[in-house]
């Protein structure tokens, strides 16, 4: 059975283009081998208003039980942004 992961979060920024990204990464002890993100700017219409951001991907075969799945808001531009109500769903893939 293959699986998908869907991550959603509500974000708000007073900045018109905060540049942040909601990220799902798959990592071994040595490196990041799969990385997906959704840019907050693509979802946000109005600064100062809460907006839901979603990122989804197929879960790759994890080579080791020690591999990690990480979910985070990457704020590379260090602009003011708030995040709330993070939801992580794992579901059977339809493909």
Q: What is the pLDDT of residue 66?
A: 87
Q: Which pLDDT band holds residue 1 (cuts at 50, 70, 90)? A: low
Give 7-59 pLDDT, tens digit per residue: 999 999 999 999 999 999 999 888 999 999 999 999 999 999 999 999 999 98
Q: What's the distance, CA 78 to chain centroid? A: 17
- 16 DSSP assignment: S
pTM: 0.88
Residue 18: name the closest of 52, 47, 49 by CA. 47
Q: Which pLDDT band holds residue 64 (cuts at 50, 70, 90)? A: confident
């Amino acid at each position: 059975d293959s699986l998908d992961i869907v991550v959603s979060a509500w974000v708000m920024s007073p900045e018109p283009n905060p540049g942040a990204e909601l990220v799902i990464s798959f990592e071994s002890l040595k490196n990041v081998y799969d990385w997906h993100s959704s840019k907050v700017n693509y979802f946000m219409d109005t600064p100062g208003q809460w907006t839901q951001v979603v990122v989804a991907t197929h879960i790759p075969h994890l080579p080791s039980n020690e591999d990690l799945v990480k979910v985070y808001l990457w704020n590379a531009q260090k602009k003011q942004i708030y995040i709330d109500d993070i939801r992580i769903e794992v579901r059977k893939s339809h493909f």
